[in-house]
Structure 1
Amino acid sequence: MKKLFFILLALLVLMGCGEPTGDQASENATDSSTSDEQNEDTDDAADSSEKNGSDEDTEEIVTLAEEFIGQLANGEFETATQHFNGTMEAELTPVALDELWVALEDQLGGFIDQEYSSIEQVDDHQVVLIDGLFESADVVFSVTFDNNNQIAGFYIQ
Protein backbone atom coordinates (compact mmCIF):
# COMPACT_ATOMS: atom_id res chain seq x y z
CA MET A 1 0.00 0.00 0.00
CA LYS A 2 2.86 2.36 0.86
CA LYS A 3 4.54 1.70 -2.50
CA LEU A 4 1.31 2.31 -4.39
CA PHE A 5 0.89 5.60 -2.57
CA PHE A 6 4.47 6.55 -3.49
CA ILE A 7 3.89 5.74 -7.17
CA LEU A 8 0.75 7.86 -7.26
CA LEU A 9 2.52 10.72 -5.49
CA ALA A 10 5.51 10.51 -7.84
CA LEU A 11 3.27 10.51 -10.90
CA LEU A 12 1.43 13.59 -9.63
CA VAL A 13 4.73 15.39 -9.12
CA LEU A 14 5.89 14.42 -12.58
CA MET A 15 2.66 15.59 -14.17
CA GLY A 16 3.60 19.13 -13.18
CA CYS A 17 7.01 18.92 -14.86
CA GLY A 18 6.91 19.87 -18.45
CA GLU A 19 4.21 18.83 -20.86
CA PRO A 20 1.74 21.58 -21.84
CA THR A 21 -1.96 20.80 -22.14
CA GLY A 22 -3.71 19.88 -25.37
CA ASP A 23 -5.59 23.21 -25.38
CA GLN A 24 -2.31 25.11 -25.45
CA ALA A 25 -1.08 22.92 -28.30
CA SER A 26 -4.29 23.60 -30.25
CA GLU A 27 -3.97 27.35 -29.77
CA ASN A 28 -0.39 27.33 -31.03
CA ALA A 29 -1.33 25.19 -34.02
CA THR A 30 -3.99 27.71 -35.04
CA ASP A 31 -1.68 30.67 -34.46
CA SER A 32 1.07 29.20 -36.61
CA SER A 33 -1.31 28.32 -39.45
CA THR A 34 -2.10 31.98 -40.17
CA SER A 35 0.84 33.05 -42.33
CA ASP A 36 0.95 35.45 -45.26
CA GLU A 37 1.03 33.99 -48.75
CA GLN A 38 3.94 36.28 -49.65
CA ASN A 39 6.16 34.60 -47.07
CA GLU A 40 5.37 31.07 -48.25
CA ASP A 41 8.32 30.84 -50.66
CA THR A 42 10.86 31.88 -48.05
CA ASP A 43 9.11 29.77 -45.43
CA ASP A 44 9.33 26.70 -47.68
CA ALA A 45 13.08 27.13 -48.05
CA ALA A 46 13.49 27.62 -44.32
CA ASP A 47 11.20 24.66 -43.61
CA SER A 48 13.27 22.29 -45.73
CA SER A 49 16.49 23.26 -43.96
CA GLU A 50 14.74 23.03 -40.57
CA LYS A 51 13.42 19.58 -41.46
CA ASN A 52 16.93 18.32 -42.06
CA GLY A 53 18.08 19.63 -38.70
CA SER A 54 14.83 18.49 -37.16
CA ASP A 55 15.37 14.92 -38.39
CA GLU A 56 18.76 14.87 -36.68
CA ASP A 57 17.22 16.33 -33.51
CA THR A 58 14.42 13.76 -33.66
CA GLU A 59 16.90 10.91 -33.93
CA GLU A 60 18.94 12.36 -31.08
CA ILE A 61 16.03 12.71 -28.65
CA VAL A 62 14.63 9.28 -29.53
CA THR A 63 18.07 7.83 -28.75
CA LEU A 64 18.25 9.85 -25.51
CA ALA A 65 14.78 8.65 -24.48
CA GLU A 66 15.65 5.01 -25.19
CA GLU A 67 18.92 5.37 -23.29
CA PHE A 68 17.04 6.97 -20.37
CA ILE A 69 14.62 4.02 -20.11
CA GLY A 70 17.53 1.58 -20.49
CA GLN A 71 19.40 3.31 -17.66
CA LEU A 72 16.35 3.02 -15.42
CA ALA A 73 16.03 -0.68 -16.26
CA ASN A 74 19.72 -1.22 -15.48
CA GLY A 75 19.52 0.60 -12.15
CA GLU A 76 21.70 3.49 -13.37
CA PHE A 77 19.56 6.19 -11.75
CA GLU A 78 22.35 8.74 -11.26
CA THR A 79 23.30 8.47 -14.94
CA ALA A 80 19.62 8.66 -15.96
CA THR A 81 19.30 12.14 -14.44
CA GLN A 82 22.22 13.61 -16.41
CA HIS A 83 19.93 14.85 -19.20
CA PHE A 84 17.34 16.43 -16.85
CA ASN A 85 16.66 20.14 -17.12
CA GLY A 86 16.74 22.26 -13.94
CA THR A 87 13.09 21.67 -13.06
CA MET A 88 13.38 17.90 -13.38
CA GLU A 89 16.61 17.86 -11.35
CA ALA A 90 14.78 19.61 -8.53
CA GLU A 91 11.67 17.42 -8.75
CA LEU A 92 13.05 13.93 -9.36
CA THR A 93 16.23 12.75 -7.65
CA PRO A 94 18.10 9.54 -8.47
CA VAL A 95 16.81 8.05 -5.18
CA ALA A 96 13.20 8.90 -6.13
CA LEU A 97 13.74 7.39 -9.59
CA ASP A 98 15.07 4.22 -7.96
CA GLU A 99 12.04 3.96 -5.67
CA LEU A 100 9.68 4.65 -8.57
CA TRP A 101 11.26 1.96 -10.77
CA VAL A 102 11.30 -0.63 -7.97
CA ALA A 103 7.61 0.05 -7.24
CA LEU A 104 6.82 -0.19 -10.97
CA GLU A 105 8.50 -3.59 -11.23
CA ASP A 106 6.81 -4.75 -8.03
CA GLN A 107 3.45 -4.04 -9.63
CA LEU A 108 4.12 -5.08 -13.23
CA GLY A 109 6.83 -7.70 -12.92
CA GLY A 110 10.32 -7.48 -14.35
CA PHE A 111 11.13 -5.16 -17.22
CA ILE A 112 11.42 -7.07 -20.52
CA ASP A 113 12.01 -4.55 -23.30
CA GLN A 114 11.14 -1.19 -24.79
CA GLU A 115 10.00 -0.17 -28.24
CA TYR A 116 9.90 3.32 -29.75
CA SER A 117 6.33 4.24 -30.65
CA SER A 118 6.17 7.84 -31.87
CA ILE A 119 7.10 11.44 -31.27
CA GLU A 120 4.76 14.38 -30.82
CA GLN A 121 5.37 18.13 -30.95
CA VAL A 122 3.61 19.99 -28.12
CA ASP A 123 4.33 23.72 -28.19
CA ASP A 124 8.11 24.02 -27.86
CA HIS A 125 8.51 20.50 -26.43
CA GLN A 126 8.89 17.15 -28.14
CA VAL A 127 7.36 14.12 -26.46
CA VAL A 128 8.85 10.71 -27.22
CA LEU A 129 6.46 7.82 -26.60
CA ILE A 130 8.03 4.46 -25.83
CA ASP A 131 6.15 1.23 -25.17
CA GLY A 132 7.51 -0.45 -22.05
CA LEU A 133 7.05 -4.21 -21.88
CA PHE A 134 6.87 -5.79 -18.43
CA GLU A 135 6.12 -9.36 -17.38
CA SER A 136 2.46 -8.80 -16.46
CA ALA A 137 1.51 -5.56 -18.23
CA ASP A 138 2.68 -2.94 -20.68
CA VAL A 139 3.00 0.81 -20.15
CA VAL A 140 3.72 3.86 -22.27
CA PHE A 141 6.67 5.98 -21.19
CA SER A 142 6.38 9.64 -22.21
CA VAL A 143 9.71 11.43 -22.13
CA THR A 144 9.35 15.17 -22.79
CA PHE A 145 12.29 17.17 -24.14
CA ASP A 146 12.81 20.94 -24.16
CA ASN A 147 14.54 22.96 -26.90
CA ASN A 148 17.95 22.07 -25.44
CA ASN A 149 17.26 18.33 -25.77
CA GLN A 150 17.04 18.01 -22.00
CA ILE A 151 14.39 15.93 -20.29
CA ALA A 152 11.65 18.26 -19.08
CA GLY A 153 9.06 15.65 -18.12
CA PHE A 154 8.65 11.93 -17.56
CA TYR A 155 5.30 10.18 -17.40
CA ILE A 156 4.20 6.58 -17.14
CA GLN A 157 0.79 5.67 -18.56
Structure 2
Amino acid sequence: MGNSGGSLTTRSTGELQQLMRAAGFTGIDDTEALAEGWQVTDFADAGRRSLANLVQRTGTPAVMVSFLDSDVGFIEAATPDGSSWEGLLNRDMAESYEIPLEHFPIEPAMAGALTWAEAAGLTPDEEAIRQTLTGSALFAEELSSALLVALGIPGAT
Protein backbone atom coordinates (compact mmCIF):
# COMPACT_ATOMS: atom_id res chain seq x y z
CA MET A 1 0.00 0.00 0.00
CA GLY A 2 1.39 3.37 -0.98
CA ASN A 3 1.23 6.90 0.33
CA SER A 4 -2.24 8.30 0.89
CA GLY A 5 -1.15 11.50 2.60
CA GLY A 6 0.11 14.62 0.96
CA SER A 7 2.92 17.07 0.50
CA LEU A 8 2.83 20.85 0.94
CA THR A 9 5.40 23.21 -0.57
CA THR A 10 5.55 26.88 0.38
CA ARG A 11 7.90 29.65 1.45
CA SER A 12 7.50 30.48 5.11
CA THR A 13 9.46 32.56 7.58
CA GLY A 14 7.43 31.23 10.53
CA GLU A 15 7.26 27.78 12.07
CA LEU A 16 5.61 25.99 9.16
CA GLN A 17 4.38 22.98 11.12
CA GLN A 18 2.58 25.20 13.66
CA LEU A 19 1.05 27.23 10.84
CA MET A 20 -0.08 24.04 9.11
CA ARG A 21 -1.72 22.70 12.29
CA ALA A 22 -3.54 26.00 12.78
CA ALA A 23 -4.74 25.83 9.15
CA GLY A 24 -6.23 22.34 9.59
CA PHE A 25 -3.50 19.94 8.46
CA THR A 26 -3.02 16.76 10.51
CA GLY A 27 -0.32 14.11 10.81
CA ILE A 28 2.39 16.61 9.93
CA ASP A 29 5.80 15.05 9.30
CA ASP A 30 9.29 16.55 9.11
CA THR A 31 9.89 19.67 7.06
CA GLU A 32 12.59 19.67 4.39
CA ALA A 33 14.24 23.00 3.67
CA LEU A 34 14.85 23.59 -0.04
CA ALA A 35 16.38 26.96 -0.96
CA GLU A 36 15.44 30.64 -0.65
CA GLY A 37 13.01 29.90 2.19
CA TRP A 38 11.02 27.22 0.34
CA GLN A 39 10.04 24.18 2.40
CA VAL A 40 8.30 20.85 1.80
CA THR A 41 6.29 19.13 4.53
CA ASP A 42 4.43 15.84 4.32
CA PHE A 43 1.08 15.45 6.06
CA ALA A 44 -1.54 12.76 6.61
CA ASP A 45 -4.67 14.80 5.92
CA ALA A 46 -5.92 18.29 5.17
CA GLY A 47 -9.32 19.85 5.57
CA ARG A 48 -11.28 21.30 2.68
CA ARG A 49 -9.99 24.84 3.30
CA SER A 50 -6.62 23.98 4.84
CA LEU A 51 -4.58 25.20 1.87
CA ALA A 52 -6.46 28.51 1.61
CA ASN A 53 -6.17 29.00 5.37
CA LEU A 54 -2.42 28.37 5.27
CA VAL A 55 -1.84 30.75 2.37
CA GLN A 56 -3.83 33.42 4.22
CA ARG A 57 -1.75 32.87 7.38
CA THR A 58 1.64 32.88 5.62
CA GLY A 59 0.89 35.43 2.92
CA THR A 60 2.83 33.30 0.43
CA PRO A 61 1.82 30.99 -2.43
CA ALA A 62 1.64 27.27 -1.69
CA VAL A 63 1.15 24.09 -3.68
CA MET A 64 -0.22 20.89 -2.18
CA VAL A 65 -0.38 17.40 -3.66
CA SER A 66 -2.62 14.81 -2.03
CA PHE A 67 -1.80 11.22 -2.94
CA LEU A 68 -4.12 8.30 -3.52
CA ASP A 69 -2.12 5.17 -2.66
CA SER A 70 0.97 6.65 -4.41
CA ASP A 71 -0.85 6.07 -7.71
CA VAL A 72 -2.53 9.44 -8.28
CA GLY A 73 -1.75 12.98 -7.13
CA PHE A 74 -4.38 15.69 -6.73
CA ILE A 75 -2.76 19.14 -7.04
CA GLU A 76 -4.12 22.24 -5.35
CA ALA A 77 -2.30 25.55 -5.38
CA ALA A 78 -3.21 29.01 -4.14
CA THR A 79 -1.80 32.51 -3.89
CA PRO A 80 -2.47 35.21 -1.30
CA ASP A 81 -4.54 37.21 -3.82
CA GLY A 82 -7.07 34.36 -3.84
CA SER A 83 -6.23 32.81 -7.18
CA SER A 84 -5.96 29.05 -7.25
CA TRP A 85 -5.64 26.11 -9.60
CA GLU A 86 -5.89 22.36 -9.45
CA GLY A 87 -4.61 19.48 -11.49
CA LEU A 88 -4.07 15.76 -11.58
CA LEU A 89 -0.89 13.68 -11.67
CA ASN A 90 -0.68 10.21 -13.24
CA ARG A 91 -3.79 10.45 -15.41
CA ASP A 92 -3.47 6.86 -16.70
CA MET A 93 -3.64 5.50 -13.16
CA ALA A 94 -6.47 7.93 -12.34
CA GLU A 95 -8.52 6.31 -15.10
CA SER A 96 -8.05 2.91 -13.49
CA TYR A 97 -9.58 4.39 -10.31
CA GLU A 98 -12.45 5.74 -12.47
CA ILE A 99 -11.55 9.32 -11.56
CA PRO A 100 -13.31 11.55 -14.12
CA LEU A 101 -10.45 13.16 -16.05
CA GLU A 102 -12.79 15.81 -17.43
CA HIS A 103 -12.85 17.31 -13.91
CA PHE A 104 -9.12 17.98 -14.29
CA PRO A 105 -8.59 19.58 -17.73
CA ILE A 106 -4.96 20.13 -18.65
CA GLU A 107 -5.09 23.60 -20.23
CA PRO A 108 -6.64 25.41 -17.23
CA ALA A 109 -4.13 23.62 -14.99
CA MET A 110 -1.30 24.77 -17.26
CA ALA A 111 -2.52 28.38 -17.18
CA GLY A 112 -3.00 28.22 -13.42
CA ALA A 113 0.45 26.75 -12.83
CA LEU A 114 2.14 29.46 -14.89
CA THR A 115 0.18 32.23 -13.14
CA TRP A 116 0.93 30.68 -9.75
CA ALA A 117 4.67 30.45 -10.49
CA GLU A 118 4.71 34.09 -11.63
CA ALA A 119 2.92 35.18 -8.44
CA ALA A 120 5.51 33.21 -6.44
CA GLY A 121 8.34 35.03 -8.24
CA LEU A 122 9.52 31.86 -9.94
CA THR A 123 10.62 31.03 -13.48
CA PRO A 124 8.60 28.01 -14.58
CA ASP A 125 9.39 25.59 -17.42
CA GLU A 126 6.13 25.40 -19.37
CA GLU A 127 6.98 22.22 -21.28
CA ALA A 128 8.13 20.45 -18.11
CA ILE A 129 4.88 21.42 -16.36
CA ARG A 130 2.90 19.96 -19.27
CA GLN A 131 4.94 16.75 -19.03
CA THR A 132 4.12 16.36 -15.33
CA LEU A 133 0.41 16.97 -15.97
CA THR A 134 0.22 14.51 -18.88
CA GLY A 135 2.95 12.01 -18.02
CA SER A 136 2.88 8.81 -16.07
CA ALA A 137 5.15 7.26 -13.46
CA LEU A 138 5.22 4.24 -11.22
CA PHE A 139 4.65 6.53 -8.22
CA ALA A 140 2.76 9.84 -8.28
CA GLU A 141 5.39 11.25 -5.90
CA GLU A 142 7.87 11.16 -8.81
CA LEU A 143 5.59 13.43 -10.84
CA SER A 144 5.03 15.65 -7.82
CA SER A 145 8.79 16.18 -7.42
CA ALA A 146 9.08 16.87 -11.16
CA LEU A 147 6.25 19.42 -10.87
CA LEU A 148 8.11 21.35 -8.16
CA VAL A 149 11.20 21.50 -10.39
CA ALA A 150 9.06 22.53 -13.39
CA LEU A 151 7.41 25.31 -11.38
CA GLY A 152 10.91 26.68 -10.71
CA ILE A 153 10.94 26.13 -6.94
CA PRO A 154 14.55 26.73 -5.82
CA GLY A 155 16.28 23.64 -4.46
CA ALA A 156 13.59 21.21 -5.66
CA THR A 157 14.96 17.97 -7.09
TM-score by length of 2: 0.27
User: Greater helix percent: which structure?
Assistant: 1
Normalised to the residue count of structure 1, the TM-score between the two structures is 0.27
Structure number, greater radius of gyration: 1
